[in-house]
């Protein structure tokens, strides 16, 4: 996975937006770039007063399988601060009350990601 690759899609509709984790070949597993793109998307959408709801989902039938262990153990290691991106995501991206998420497979980091997205303001 290249660092410049877009792995989060944002689809804006009238009054709501859909944020899609787009790494179906790895069951949308978390990487540094995915965490940063997700954080940026939620922060941007939270700042848009026209957006009343954000739906967070994963492409390809899985929400998120957690941290991508293959990428995490790459040799040489990737320069991304995966945990740092997740921590910053949790402190900067505050969800408004009507946000929802969906998907069939969710575990580990995927569950944590969904909770951060709907967590306190």
Please write the tens of the pLDDT for every residue from 18-51: 999 999 999 999 998 998 999 999 999 999 999 9
- Name the nearest CA neighbour of 16 among 47, 59, 45: 45
Q: Could you tell me the pLDDT band of residue 92, with boundaries at 50, 70 and 90? A: very low
2 phi, psi to nearest 5 deg: -80, 145
Instruction: Provide the CA 59 distance to its chain's centre, in angstroms.
Output: 12
pTM across the whole model: 0.68
Averaged pLDDT, 53-73? 91
Q: Which residue has the tokens 């540094």?
A: 32
Instruction: Answer whether CATH 3.90.226.10 is correct for domain 8-118.
Output: yes
Q: Which of 79, 66, 97, 98 is nearest to 33 (CA)?
A: 79
The pLDDT > 70 percentage for the chain reads 64
Count of H-run helices and E-run strands, the chain: 4, 4
Per-residue confidence (pLDDT) for residue 2, from 0 to 100 = 58
More confident residue, 97 or 28: 28
């Amino acid at each position: 996975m290249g660092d410049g690759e877009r792995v989060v899609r944002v689809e804006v509709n009238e009054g709501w937006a859909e944020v899609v984790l787009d790494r179906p070949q790895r069951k949308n597993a978390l990487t540094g770039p995915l965490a940063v793109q997700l954080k940026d998307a939620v922060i941007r959408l939270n700042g848009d007063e026209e957006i009343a709801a954000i739906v967070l989902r994963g492409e390809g039938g899985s929400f998120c399988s957690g941290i991508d262990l293959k990428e995490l153990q790459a040799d040489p290691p990737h320069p991304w601060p995966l945990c740092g991106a997740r921590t910053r995501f949790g402190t900067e991206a505050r969800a408004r009350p009507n946000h929802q998420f969906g998907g069939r497979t969710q575990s580990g980091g995927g569950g944590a990601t969904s909770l951060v997205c709907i967590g306190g303001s």
